[in-house]
């Protein structure tokens, strides 16, 4: 938090219109931002909130629109704010006024363009908040965690402390819950494995996931592979290596009814006993489900990108020799972390009557 304890807070600030500017929202980015979206609505319950993607698309307008229903009133994509120099000749969004504008980006072009929109309060981190209506106390340093950076901006706008939520809140909806329970019916103990990521350098080797899945089968558990559209080529070799595993996102129902919606993955996470994921959008989806999560990091920073969930175990490649290559993480280390996470929930290999030696 950045608000000082003796600061004169203005809790009477009640904007009727709020503009939030982002660059774009891919699935992983948007999921990380959900705690900010929830707190934004808590701070300004009566405001009309407009979410503006200045440089691209936002999944809040498409696949994640159900998750922000009632939280965001309007999504504008590809607004072109700060993209071209000629944009400075006119006011963005046709000069439409807003009581509050929060620019979450640090680029000067977008900040200067947004500043031209009529407003009462303007919050922007560019140039150490030089153009912002309100600034943090002297010596402020942005926290590493991205969502905390955004919550700090919200604190400045609202004028009072906004804590980081301990547990993300998301309503995946009854249709997704029902579908998830049909795909993973109660009875077996499911272990989720999400081997994909936005870049291959962030992926733990596939043969390690296979070895881990086989260990779970030996203990009487059922591996559940969660593959996104970019990893569907892995389905055939994984099926051959672990034939008794489940593949809920590759089912005809998931593809036909939900187009592999992120909300279905969240609902599936609620059916799992534990999950293992790389630093990926799927990992953040699983974090939203509240399942105990083992998160594997290598070339990216966990202090910046770690999923927000209270039942998280972080394993970083640097622990084994200092390098960032994902193959440094041993299978035994992940397996041990998994068993420790399960021991904390009252379930472990020792409690499973079918567990292997």
Q: Please report which confidence band the pLDDT of residue 294 belongs to, taking 50, 70 and 90 as the band edges.
A: very high
| Residue 356 confidence (pLDDT) above 50 | no
Name the least confident of 45-49, 170-174, 247-251: 170-174
Among 8-17, 72-81, 201-210, the minimum mean pLDDT is found in 8-17
pLDDT band with cut points at 50, 70 and 90 for residue 73? very high
Confidence category of residue 355, pLDDT binned at 50, 70, 90: very low
Domain positions in the chain: 17-158, 174-351
pLDDT score at 258: 86
Domains 17-158 and 174-351 share a fold: yes
CATH class held by domain 174-351: alpha beta
Residue 149 CA to residue 163 CA, distance in Å, equals 12
CATH architecture of the domain with range 17-158:
3-Layer(aba) Sandwich (3.40)
């Amino acid at each position: 938090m950045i608000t000082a304890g003796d600061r004169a807070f203005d809790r009477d600030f009640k904007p009727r219109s709020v503009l939030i500017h982002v660059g774009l929202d891919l699935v992983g980015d948007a999921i990380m931002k959900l705690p900010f979206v929830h707190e934004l609505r808590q701070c300004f319950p009566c405001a009309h909130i407009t979410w503006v993607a200045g440089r691209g698309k936002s999944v809040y307008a498409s696949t994640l629109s159900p998750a922000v229903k009632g939280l965001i009133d309007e999504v504008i994509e590809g607004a072109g704010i700060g993209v071209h120099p000629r944009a400075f000749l006119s006011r963005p969004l046709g000069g439409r006024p807003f009581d509050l504008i929060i620019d979450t980006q640090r680029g000067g072009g977008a900040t200067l363009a947004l500043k031209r929109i009529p407003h009462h309060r303007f919050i922007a981190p560019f140039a150490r908040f030089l153009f912002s209506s309100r600034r943090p106390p002297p010596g402020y340093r942005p926290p590493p965690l991205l969502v905390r950076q955004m919550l700090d901006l919200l604190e400045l706008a609202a004028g009072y402390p906004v804590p980081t939520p301990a547990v993300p809140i998301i309503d995946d909806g009854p249709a997704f819950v029902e579908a998830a329970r049909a795909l993973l019916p109660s009875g077996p103990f499911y272990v989720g494995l999400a081997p994909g990521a936005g870049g291959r350098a962030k992926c733990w080797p596939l043969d390690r996931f296979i070895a881990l899945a086989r260990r779970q089968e030996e203990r009487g558990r059922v591996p559940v592979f969660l593959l996104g559209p970019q990893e569907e080529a892995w389905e055939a070799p994984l099926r051959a290596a672990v034939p008794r595993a489940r593949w809920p996102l590759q089912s005809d129902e998931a593809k036909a009814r939900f187009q592999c919606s992120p909300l279905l993955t969240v609902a599936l996470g609620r059916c799992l006993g534990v999950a293992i994921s790389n630093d990926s959008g799927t990992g953040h989806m699983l974090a939203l489900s509240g399942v105990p999560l083992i998160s594997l990091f290598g070339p990216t920073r966990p202090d910046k990108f770690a999923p927000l969930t209270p039942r998280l175990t972080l394993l970083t490649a640097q622990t084994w020799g200092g390098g960032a290559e994902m193959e440094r993480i041993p299978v035994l280390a992940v397996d041990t972390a998994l068993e420790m996470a399960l021991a904390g929930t009252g379930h472990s290999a020792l409690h499973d009557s079918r567990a292997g030696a």
